[in-house]
Amino acid sequence: DTEVTQTPKHLVMGMTNKKSLKCEQHMGHRAMYWYKQKAKKPPELMFVYSYEKLSINESVPSRFSPECPNSSLLNLHLHALQPEDSALYLCASRRRGENTGELFFGEGSRLTVL
């Protein structure tokens, strides 16, 4: 199983809503990532969890709240978002340790904030 599964695939929310994006992997990877991608732009790093602890927060606004309940799951909680937060949110996982390498990406959750 070499898949990263993201749900939902599409999400539309208002600026006062609270919603969550979910990501799951069963490859035994101990690093999990959230990236944000706008149209015609590269993935932009948001958060990294390493061994279920937050290791990188790229100065992301607090209206995005990550959570890593266990080594297979990664959530991104969304609250009071702005229309400019509309984007494709990509989850990725990566093996941790010597010669760490490839990021395995999910297909993304396309978020629209009205």
How far apart are CB 16 and other proteins at their closest, in Å? 29
Q: Is residue 45 a contact point for other proteins (CB under 8 A)? A: yes
Structure tokens at 108: 């993304």
d(CA 105, CA 93): 7
Q: Smaller CB distance to other proteins: residue 12 or 15?
A: 12
**Interacting residue with other proteins among 11, 21, 24, 33 (CB under 8 A):** 33
Q: Is residue 92 a contact point for other proteins (CB under 8 A)? A: yes
Structure tokens at 5: 């599964």
Strands 109-113 and 10-13: parallel
How far apart are CB 6 and other proteins at their closest, in Å? 8
